[in-house]
Structure 1
Amino acid sequence: MKLWGGRFEKTTDALVEDFHSSISFDQRLYKQDVQGSIAHARMLGQVGVISPAEADQIIQGLHGILEDIQSGKVEFEVGAEDIHMNIEKLLTERIGVVGKKVHTGRSRNDQVALDLRLFLRAEIDKTKDLMATLIRTLLDIAQEHKETWMPGYTHLQKAQPITFSHHVLAYTQMFLRDMGRFNDTRKRLNFSPLGSGAMAGTTFHLDRESVAKELGFDGVTLNSLDGVSDRDFALEFLGATSIAMMHLSRLCEELVLWSSGEFQFITMDDGYSTGSSIMPQKKNPDVAELVRGKTGRVYGDLIALLTVMKGLPLAYNKDMQEDKEQVFDAIDTIQKSLLVVEPMLRTMKVNREVMARGAKGGFTNATDLADYLAKKNVPFREAHEIVGRIVLYCTKKGCGLEDLKLEEFKEFSDVFSEDLFERIGIEYCVRERKLTGGPAPETVSRAIELSTQELEKLI
């Protein structure tokens, strides 16, 4: 018989039983469900709703169930619908009628909200640990390549010379902000909804605060309707995860480009590449491509839950059972992605010489030539026009700026002198960009130091 079956005269239809059940996926919450029930039972004994002896009996029974689940001795029942009812049923079977008292003063509505908050809190911490490892690897790469010259791009066209270190540090900043978003999400979700009941609290004089403290929450939710119907903490997690996956996708997109025959900036390790079933020469960056593809999956999780929640009246509605699969999928996706991207980066080979050659092509020093004129009191817009004409001249001639003779430069402006050749050298162009946030090696060194400090604050 269902634990809620008192007012029903018929059993649930078999099709409904399967459609209604969530145990196939919410069994992942077993640890949090037991943890919450133990804290709830202890509080019930402390405030006198049940006797201390009954509370101890329930707690011991729950510990035994947890051990059996973790050792694979428990087979959950679809008929018991969800993880909450499965554990309560197991408890009653093990300790008898006392087990039926564990649900006093609570509802599955506040119970599932509690479980999901506990679960997300732990998974946020795990995700942050993985992201911190990735950031440390990026910082190591940046430290190694402070003088690895490469072209920077806008519109995927060569723009200005930078260092590989500087490029990598851009992603470090993105992931540091992602960690900040996960911290913000964790802070806002860390309030206990237990005691909200079905939607209007309970007439039992519960000590919500003691339960919250035992479970490591910062406090309790202040409105019972909100306590059971709120899922914005899950949406915020999915939002933060979607942004983090977007950053991973952009990084992986560049790895795909850089490892191509057209770029050859990097060589992917064999362990993180695959071959073709028909073309024996192929070495495909499938791991990076998969992360790029899985980003859309996480976006889908966010949109799905937003759509579920958008039209729901207060308080709890069964639609909200659809929250967990989206959250679980996003967690699995980002954690697996972080696990594979970090060693893929750590094992890749950076082709310094190819990058340096690329930095010298495409007139990446044209802005520096315009700056050279501006520093000699030529209005910048006029300097821009002069250099544009020089670039056109070089394009027709099939050479770079550094290949011209001084006499040729002087045909465009008498301001040019012999010192211009030093100023348009690629290394000089990069080293002179010492402004905070720039690519100069000394600036990059400081950025690595500050990023390392920021990481330690966020962990």
Structure 2
Amino acid sequence: MTQPQTWSQRFESALHPAIALFNASINFDIELIEYDLTGSQAHAKMLAHTGIISAEEGEQLVSGLEQIRQEYRQGQFQPGVDAEDVHFAVERRLTEIVGDVGKKLHTARSRNDQVGTDTRLYLRDQIQQIRNYLREFQRILLDIAEQNVETLIPGYTHLQRAQPLSLAHHLLAYFEMAQRDWERLGDVSRRVNISPLGCGALAGTTFPIDRHYTAQLLNFDSVYANSLDGVSDRDFAIEFLCAASLIMVHLSRLSEEIILWASEEFRFITLKDSCATGSSIMPQKKNPDVPELVRGKTGRVFGHLQAMLVIMKGLPLAYNKDLQEDKEGLFDSVNTVKACLEAMTILLREGLEFRSQRLGEAVAEDFSNATDVADYLAARGVPFREAYNLVGKVVKTSIATGKLLKDLTLDEWQQIHPAFAADIYEAIAPRTVVSARNSYGGTGFAQVNKALVTARNQIKSEV
């Protein structure tokens, strides 16, 4: 049998050992211990501030909690399953350190508002760390983009060659995705940063607490206005998991492109030894493990979002034990996103190299300049739809004869339409095609250079 718990005087016997193990969360919510200690110190200060306990007792509690923090950091405090959860573990150790005054810490507080506070403190901290990882990811994207403004790469729609692009423009698309991720996390953080401390189990407390005082101590922006909502809300965690899932979507999309680019069929990049592995039986192989793992780990974060939604969808107010299941998925998602951002940043910074000569060859060996032929005619007064149909026929004929558009003679062009002149060859050259797309947000070199300046200024000004 297990030892009696703090709440067990209501019961005549202890929990069955298997149920105690099933019920316990200490093996994973120990992750919250630093935040639990910080929140508890603020609570103790508030109890003293309002006169619920004496100033001396408040100091004893704060000091004892700090001792536990140091013991944990030094590996001397390692509670087991018998503690049930991190909150009981801390309270029990605190009582061992300061005596009966330790039993006063839980005055005017429930584990329900306590765990809600801990989780918010944890997630607020982790969101800032993830935003920092996103910034590093963006910086390396900009570094590579600045070196490749005039490097060309085929652009695709439906995974079919579409129009040539500046490689920098392509990479800046991922910069923009990451910028939305960074901004989205900032928005989520505002709703994370609301204090439930003082909501009690569900109905508040009879003690004259000062919730705004603890919120100020803990740097919360505000407090929950409704105690029921305060202890049962997990919207903030769901929002974070949504934001985390989108980060993983963006990383997975880039991963898929890197995997394709590294293949023999594309050969757009070379993987360096520091970020690739080999095969156990095929000595020629160099495998893109980093992007493959990122692509695979994306499903974990999606799964945690789905799990959280399912947990919440049928819960009546207020707190229910189901909410214990909110933490493992949340912790794993945080760790997964951070690890994937770090790995992808390293891969981009030192694990791959773009093959500019191969990229140049790629944009010259297809019909991705066909739209520019139609634009050429349209600029000379031919209705675009008519020009479009003419060029479609030219492409069909060229494919049948094994020619590219650049291979057609001027006479052949003029047989198609008399508006064609000798400047058609320059107009459909890949570099001209890219440079000409100078509309705002386009791939034209001038626009890309402006976008790079804007991006650099953006990450400097937004901290």
Shift of 1:196: 0.3
How far, CA to CA, are the matches of 2:232 and 2:462 in structure 1?
30
Alignment of 1:303-318 (within 5 A): 303-318=306-321
Alignment of 1:203-218 (within 5 A): 203-218=206-221
Alignment gaps of 5+ in structure 1: none
Alignment of 1:27-426 (within 5 A): 27-347=30-350, 348-426=352-430
1:17 to 15, 20, 40: 20
How far, CA to CA, are the matches of 1:113 and 1:91 in structure 2?
21
How far, CA to CA, are the matches of 2:415 and 2:449 in structure 1?
41
Q: 2:27 touches 2:80 (CA, 8 Å); kept in 1?
A: no
Alignment gaps of 5+ in structure 2: none
Shift of 1:279: 0.5
| Residue 448 of structure 1: aligned partner | 452
How far, CA to CA, are the matches of 2:429 and 2:283 in structure 1?
41
Q: 1:179 touches 1:458 (CA, 8 Å); kept in 2?
A: no
Q: 1:180 touches 1:458 (CA, 8 Å); kept in 2?
A: no
Structure scoring higher RCO (CA < 8 A, sep ≥ 6) equals 1
State the AA in 2 paired with 1:452: R
State the AA in 2 paired with 1:288: P
Identity %: 49
Task: Provide, for residues 206-256 of structure 1, a one-character-per-residue CA deviation record: whole Å limited to 9, x for no partner.
Answer: 011010011011011100000000001000000000000000000010000
Q: What secondary structure sits across from 1:444 in the alignment?
A: helix
CA RMSD of aligned residues (A): 0.8
Q: What secondary structure sits across from 1:282 in the alignment?
A: coil
* 4+ runs deviating over 6 angstroms: none
Shift of 1:103: 0.3
Q: 2:193 touches 2:220 (CA, 8 Å); kept in 1?
A: yes
| Number of residues of Structure 1 aligned to a counterpart in Structure 2 | 459
TM-score by length of 2: 0.98
TM-score by length of 1: 0.99
Shift of 1:89: 0.4
Q: 2:436 touches 2:444 (CA, 8 Å); kept in 1?
A: yes
State the AA in 1 paired with 2:388: H
Task: Provide, for residues 15-60 of structure 1, a one-character-per-residue CA deviation record: whole Å limited to 9, x for no partner.
Answer: 1100000000000000000000000000100100000000001110
Q: 1:183 touches 1:458 (CA, 8 Å); kept in 2?
A: no
Shift of 1:458: 3.7
Shift of 1:456: 3.1
Q: 1:162 touches 1:430 (CA, 8 Å); kept in 2?
A: yes
